[in-house]
Structure 1
Amino acid sequence: MGSGPAPLRATTARTLTLTALLAATLLGCADAPRDTPRGPAPRTTTPQELCASLIVHWADITLDGADGRDAVHLDYQSMGLSGDQYEILRAVLDEARAVRLTDGPEAAHALTAREAGRRCAERHRQGTPTGGPWR
C-alpha cells in the first residue's frame, strides 16, 4: 500500500467549498464603506395608529359580514382590544351602521377610518391610558 494523504470525501470537499464561499462573501461585505446606508430605518407604530388600525380592522369585518350585524362573535379580548378600544369600536360601529343605511358601504368605511383615528387620538392625547392592563 502506498503512503500519502487520504483522499477527500465528497462531503468534506463540499464543506470546504461552502466555507470558502462564505468567507469570500463575508470579506466582500467587510469592504463596504461604513457610511453607506443599509436601508430604511424601521418605523415605530404609535399607540394612536395601532388603536385606530385595530378599530378599523374589526369595524370593517363586522360591517362587511352579515349585512352589518355582528358576524364576528368574538369578545373584545379575543379581538385583541382593550376595554376602552372595544367601547370605541362599538361607538364607531353604531355611527357606521347608520351611515351605511343612508349613504352606502363606502361612506360607512370612510366614517369608520375617520372616527377611529379621531377617537383613538383623543384616547391617547395625554400619553398612554392607565387603569389596568385592559384599559
Structure 2
Amino acid sequence: MTDGAPPRPWCVPLRLLTPSVALAAVLAGCAGPGAGTAPRPSPSPRTTPPQELCTRLVTQWAHRLLADGGSGYGDYQSMGLSNGQYGILRTVLDAGRAEERRNGPDAARRLTHRLSERGCTERYRGGVPTGGPWQ
C-alpha cells in the first residue's frame, strides 16, 4: 500500500468491520458472564434444628452461671429461654455445681454440655413442643 496501489477489494470491508468487532467485543466483556440471563436465586439460609439451638443456649448459660457463681441474671425470659429450656438449665446447673466441687471447673463444663445436649435432644425428640410459645 505504500506504493500507491489501490487497496485490495476484500480489505476495505475488513477495515470497516474491525472497529465494529472490537467495540462489540469490548461491550460484551463489560456485560459480564451470564449477561441477559435471569439471576440465580440465592441459596436458602441454613436453619438450626431446635434441639441444637436449645443445646447451645442452655450450655452457654450453664457455663456463664457456673463461672460467675450463679448470680447476675434475670428470669428465663431475659435469658432468651423457654420455660422448658429453663427447666433443663436448672437440672444441668445442679449437676454442674456438684461436679465442679468434686472435679473442678473443666469437668463441670464438659458435664454441663453433655447434660444440656441430652436434655434438649429429649425435649425436642418429637419436634417442637406444644403448649404455647413459652413451652
Give me the TM-score of the superposition, normalised by structure 1: 0.69
Task: Return the alpha-carbon distance in structure 1 between the equivalents of residues 105 and 128 of structure 2.
Answer: 32
Match of 1:44 among 43, 47, 63: 47
**Which structure 2 segments of 5+ residues have no match?**
1-28, 36-41
Q: Return structure 1 stretches of 4+ with deviation > 3 angstroms.
A: none
Task: Return the alpha-carbon distance in structure 2 between the equivalents of residues 122 and 100 of structure 1.
Answer: 24
Root-mean-square deviation (CA, aligned residues, Å) is 2.2
Is 1:63 the equivalent of 2:66?
yes
**Matched residue SS, 1:57:** helix
**1:30 aligned residue:** 34
**Matched residue SS, 1:30:** coil
Question: Contact 1:61–1:72 at 8 Å: present in 2 too?
Answer: no
Task: Return the alpha-carbon distance in structure 2 between the equivalents of residues 72 and 89 of structure 1.
Answer: 15
Deviation at 1:94, TM superposition (A): 0.2
Deviation at 1:41, TM superposition (A): 6.8
**Which runs of structure 2 are paired with 1:1-135 in the superposition (5 Å)?**
24=30, 27-30=31-34, 42-65=45-68, 69-135=69-135
Judged with a 3 Å threshold, the aligned counterparts in structure 2 of structure 1 residues 125 and 71 are, in CA distance, closer, same or farther, namely: same
Q: Indicate the percent of aligned positions where both proteins have the same amino acid.
A: 51
Task: Return the alpha-carbon distance in structure 2 between the equivalents of residues 103 and 79 of structure 1.
Answer: 28
**2:38 aligned residue:** none
Which has the greater radius of gyration? 2
**Number of matched pairs:** 103
